[in-house]
Structure 1
């Protein structure tokens, strides 16, 4: 399972890292980034919830 943040679409609301800090964090530019594309085992549901909660649909989890 991989998580990818489209930084061109991201508005920097901070919701995804608040839901799943194991996968997402805010970058120096104020936008979200996936810490590692490979989602760690055991946090798949949280990673998907972070993606689903994005108000601009900037995150894909596959």
Structure 2
């Protein structure tokens, strides 16, 4: 499996995790641990997006 395929697969998994985590957020009084989890997933997704863009621009 190529690096691009690995990144894309992880991004797909993160999309699911982000959606599931957002669904767990209450409408009011957001719980800090859940919010931190969501932010971690979103940060990782953003980093992978940048990494994927860098790989594609080299090729």
Tell me the TM-score normalized by structure 1: 0.31
More strand by share: 1
TM-score w.r.t. the length of structure 2 is 0.32
Q: Which has the higher helix share?
A: 2
